[in-house]
């Protein structure tokens, strides 16, 4: 008995059948037809995979169901169809909504279908590009972080050179004032010498802060429980904040041990509290200091290795820092305060101390919702 063989071409049928099978076999793209008003006429398996709807769920419904509610309210779907029919194509990226309510980043193309100058509908192609979009954002963030780190490194080198030169000049001035003070018996001259000495000592303090920022200050490292050190300093921090500001500590249950310069650490926390105090309104507010241990990595590092860090965060409920200023807050002499109300070296000292200690600093601020500055210091291995 002879069997008639059926060729693949016969199984596929005519051209329209082949085309329908082709579209339905595509799973990386949602490809479907819309009528002139935007109602869905066809659906493929790619649409089911990307958007979560079966054909029975969507055919006959309006394609605006895939847009976010704010976009629907603004009439975005209708405008996209209008652009497509007017310009011959609409192409864009945006957020779309799946059946389960989750959002995904979509690359969308809408082409009009014409016959004898009559609009028959639209061919719509959607691709899920969420992973690519997230990767691009991460790359941009990494590039910005690297650029910021390189800028701060360059500023640090410049600052270090200037601070050393300035410190040498101040050493000459202070030594000369000491000699004058020791040799004069004139009370008036003595008062002038003391006034000049106080100014010189202020200059010495500023150069120390600059040297800390430029990693030129020698740290006296001690193995320290940061929990205990913060608890010892709470009265000083509260006095620095003032009577109208409430300072509270939230310490870890276990010891947080790190090798740090105690004086530089105390100065860094005091600088953060003072900055928060100055940012709060005259009516006062609150400052919260938390300490914990976290496993993380320096975002500016070229390596992906993580490590254990003692993390100290100072958070206030003030007005926050404007977005345009946030990238510059750790630069020496940058300040948003009025002239004479601050040197602009407080946060730069914090940055320098953390960097020289092998850690890093992060700032998180949203206008109207306060500011948080976090110091990460390498935890001592037990």
Which residue from 361, 356, 357, 364 is spatially nearest to 379, judged by alpha carbons?
A: 357
Angle between helical axes of 346-356 and 262-279 (0-180°, round to 10) = 150
Q: Is the pLDDT of residue 35 over 90?
A: yes
Mean pLDDT of 262-287: 89
Q: Are 359 and 373 in contact (CB under 8 A)?
A: no
Q: Is the pLDDT of residue 161 over 80?
A: no
Res 232: pLDDT:
92
pLDDT digits over 202-238, tens only?
A: 777 667 666 666 555 667 889 999 999 999 999 989 9
Cα within 13 Å of Cα(223), Cβ side = 4
Q: Is the pLDDT of residue 72 over 60?
A: yes
Rounded CA-CA distance 179/370 in Å is 50
Least confident of 65-74, 117-126, 131-140: 131-140
Rounded CA-CA distance 275/348 in Å is 12
The neighbouring-strand residues paired with 252 are none
pLDDT digits over 317-358, tens only?
A: 999 988 888 877 877 666 666 544 555 567 877 888 888 888
The neighbouring-strand residues paired with 246 are 286
User: Which has more pLDDT, 264 or 38?
Assistant: 38
């Amino acid at each position: 008995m002879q069997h008639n063989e059926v060729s693949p071409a016969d199984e596929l049928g005519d051209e329209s059948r082949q085309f329908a099978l082709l579209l339905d076999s595509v799973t990386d793209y949602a490809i479907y037809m819309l009528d002139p008003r935007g109602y869905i006429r066809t659906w493929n398996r790619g649409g089911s995979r990307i958007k979560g709807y079966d054909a029975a769920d969507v055919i006959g419904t309006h394609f605006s169901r895939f847009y976010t509610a704010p976009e629907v309210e603004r009439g975005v779907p209708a405008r996209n169809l209008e652009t497509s029919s007017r310009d011959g194509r609409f192409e864009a990226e945006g957020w779309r909504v799946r059946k389960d309510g989750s959002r995904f980043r979509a690359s969308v193309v809408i082409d009009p279908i014409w016959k004898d100058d009559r609009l028959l509908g639209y061919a719509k192609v959607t691709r899920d590009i969420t992973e690519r979009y997230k990767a691009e954002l991460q790359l941009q963030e990494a590039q910005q972080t690297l650029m910021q780190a390189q800028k701060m490194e360059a500023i640090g080198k410049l600052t270090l050179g200037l601070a050393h030169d300035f410190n040498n000049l101040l050493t000459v001035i202070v030594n000369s004032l000491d000699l004058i003070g020791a040799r004069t018996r004139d009370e008036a001259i003595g008062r002038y010498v003391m006034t000049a000495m106080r100014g010189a000592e202020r200059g010495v303090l500023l150069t120390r802060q600059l040297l800390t920022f430029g990693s030129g200050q020698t740290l006296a490292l001690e193995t320290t429980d940061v929990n205990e050190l913060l608890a010892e300093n709470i009265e000083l921090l509260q006095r620095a904040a003032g009577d109208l500001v409430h300072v509270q500590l939230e310490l870890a249950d276990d010891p947080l041990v790190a090798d740090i310069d105690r004086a530089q650490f105390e100065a860094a926390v005091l600088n953060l509290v003072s900055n928060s105090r100055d940012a709060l309104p005259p009516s006062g507010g609150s400052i919260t200091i938390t300490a914990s241990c976290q496993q993380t990595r320096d975002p500016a590092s070229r390596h992906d290795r993580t490590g254990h860090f003692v993390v100290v965060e100072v958070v206030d409920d003030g007005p926050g820092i404007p977005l345009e200023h946030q990238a510059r807050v750790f630069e020496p002499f940058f300040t948003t305060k009025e002239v004479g109300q601050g040197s602009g070296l407080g946060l730069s000292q914090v940055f320098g101390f953390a960097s020289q200690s092998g850690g890093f600093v992060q700032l998180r601020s949203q206008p109207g919702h306060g500011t948080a500055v976090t110091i990460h210091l390498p935890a001592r291995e037990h």
